Amino acid sequence: MTDLAAVKRALTAQRVETPSWAFGNSGTRFKVFTQAGVPRTPQEKIADAAVVHRYTGVAPTVALHIPWDKVDDYSALTAYAKSLGVGIGAINTNVFQDDDYKLGSVTNPDPAVRRKATDHLLEAIDIMDATGSRDLKLWFSDGINYPGQDDLTNRQDRLAAALQETYARLGDDQRILLEYKLFEPAFYATDIPDWGTSYAHCLELGPKATVCIDTGHHAPGTNIEFIVAFLLRQKKLGAFDFNSRFYADDDLMAGAADPFQLFRIMYEIVRGGALDPAYGINFMLDQCHNIEAKIPAIIRSILNIQEATAKALLVDRDALTKAQNDGDVLEANAVIMDAYNTDVRPLLAEVRTDLGLDPDPVAAYKRSGYQEKIVADRVGGEQAGWGA
Ligand code: PSV
Ligand code: MN
Ligand code: MN
């Protein structure tokens, strides 16, 4: 029997972090389609994130990407966010957009480039000190395009050295989230291509380093929920970058391409007792909205995560355990599918109503007039984009 009150409590406590860059213009390498009303400054991105929180009630933090969100005064930016009812979340580093990084950042054969890249990681911790952020999210585009281009093992050594220096600079309550990605921009060998490589580096570093799973960063067919289960068991799962993909790193709305996969992932999270924010996993979005309106797309992504979570919470765990222990393959699968096939939208509407929110956040946002206001107000200046 499922305890519905407990399910509602868990859904009320759930948190999803939004990415500042998802509010800006983005596109593919073929074309960036600009949209009216898009933020021009980090402050305007934070204002949009606050609106997402206002309508969902579960997104009280926004992740920054440096230097895309570079400002002179991070304490003032944090105070501004607070005045809008949100906080600054993970600080994402960027050692992939400078010409210097053509052959890599922290794994570059040139020690001067490695120094520059590592200094950026250390600077990001200074920013965390000012914003009060707990999480330093590291993703390295480093890798090589051709066999023989560089020495694979030496690159791992250089990576480990930079990570160690960064880890040593962390404050007591700060931690590294180490992201991996199979390929792109490197095509032959990426220096952190998979969870195993990230996990091994995190183990070497210590307890303040954990793995970030970006759901779009795997080979097709990868069983991501297995990775979740394994890392949870090792206490080394620190974060998600949620998004969905059909082919590669598509960065589409979470739960859009494969809601069943998102459910399976959230089931492992629930099963591992890791949903509660107190457990410490940062459930972030990492998405780009190239052709759809950004704020409602981010709200939709959060609703998709909530729906997957609600279904995961509804799995009849006793019935599942019994079927598993009985070796009843079909019954065990039926228990999982029963939960997945439940329409949880009325339950989530109730949770929102209890919180004093509109039961339909997308509709409430559309009615609010905010979109029209930002289109009217945000004229002039340079619109922010993925990379600006
Ligand atoms: C790389 O593809 C990535 O997933 C990393 O998290 C970056 O920081 C982010 O995308 C930028 O959009
Ligand atoms: Mn990511
Ligand atoms: Mn990505």
pLDDT tens column, 126-154: 999 999 999 999 999 999 999 999 999 99
Ligand 1 atom 11: residue of nearest CA: 286
Contact indicator for 256, 305 with CB cutoff of 8 Å:
no
Strands, E assignment, 215-256: 237-242
Residue 32 to residues 28, 176, 292, 374, Cα–Cα distance (Å): 6, 31, 12, 20
- For residues 29 and 223, give the distance between their C-alpha atoms in angstroms, rounded to a whole number: 28
Q: Is the CB of 92 under 6 A from ligand 1?
A: yes
pLDDT digits (tens, 9 = 90+) for 372-388: 999 999 998 788 887 76
CB atoms within 10 A of CB 66: 18
Total-model pTM: 0.98
Phi, psi of 9 (to 5 degrees): -60, -45
Q: Is the CB of 241 under 6 A from ligand 1?
A: yes
SS3 179: strand
Beta strands 18-19 and 87-92, pairing class: unpaired
pLDDT tens string, the chain, 388 residues long: the values are 689 999 999 999 999 999 999 999 999 999 999 999 999 999 999 999 999 999 999 999 999 999 999 999 999 999 999 999 999 999 999 999 999 999 999 999 999 999 999 999 999 999 999 999 999 999 999 999 999 999 999 999 999 999 999 999 999 999 999 999 999 999 999 999 999 999 999 999 999 999 999 999 999 999 999 999 999 999 999 999 999 999 999 999 999 999 999 999 999 999 999 999 999 999 999 999 999 999 999 999 999 999 999 999 999 999 999 999 999 999 999 999 999 999 999 999 999 999 999 999 999 999 999 999 999 999 987 888 877 6
In the numeric block, the tokens 């990407």 are attached to 65
Phi, psi of 239 (to 5 degrees): -165, 160
| Residue 386: predicted pLDDT | 78
Q: Is the CB of 69 under 6 A from ligand 1?
A: no
Q: What does DSSP assign to residue 279?
A: G
| Residue 388: predicted pLDDT | 63
- For residues 226 and 232, give the distance between their C-alpha atoms in angstroms, rounded to a whole number: 10
Q: Which ligand is nearest to the CA of 68?
A: 1
Q: Is the CB of 214 under 6 A from ligand 1?
A: yes
| Residue 345: predicted pLDDT | 98
- For residues 212 and 263, give the distance between their C-alpha atoms in angstroms, rounded to a whole number: 18
pLDDT digits (tens, 9 = 90+) for 216-272: 999 999 999 999 999 999 999 999 999 999 999 999 999 999 999 999 999 999 999
Q: Which domains does the chain have, with CATH numbers?
A: 4-377 (3.20.20.150)
Bridge partners, residue 88, by sequence? 62
Q: Is the CB of 21 under 6 A from ligand 1?
A: yes
- For residues 21 and 286, give the distance between their C-alpha atoms in angstroms, rounded to a whole number: 8
Out of 92, 182, 249, mutate this one to test ligand 1's pocket (max ligand atoms within 8 Å of CB): namely 92
| Residue 387: predicted pLDDT | 74
Closest approach atom of ligand 1 to CA 93: 8
- For residues 345 and 352, give the distance between their C-alpha atoms in angstroms, rounded to a whole number: 11
What angle (nearest 5°) sits at the alpha carbon of residue 273, between those of residues 272 and 278?
A: 135
Short-list 236, 190, 230, 235, CA closest to 211: 236
Q: Which ligand is nearest to the CA of 65?
A: 1
SS3 200: helix
Q: What is the ipTM of this complex?
A: 0.98
SS3 3: coil
Q: Is the CB of 105 under 6 A from ligand 1?
A: no
Q: Which ligand is nearest to the CA of 139?
A: 1
Q: Is the CB of 142 under 6 A from ligand 1?
A: no
- For residues 267 and 345, give the distance between their C-alpha atoms in angstroms, rounded to a whole number: 17
Ligand 1 atom 10: residue of nearest CA: 286
Contact indicator for 93, 123 with CB cutoff of 8 Å:
no
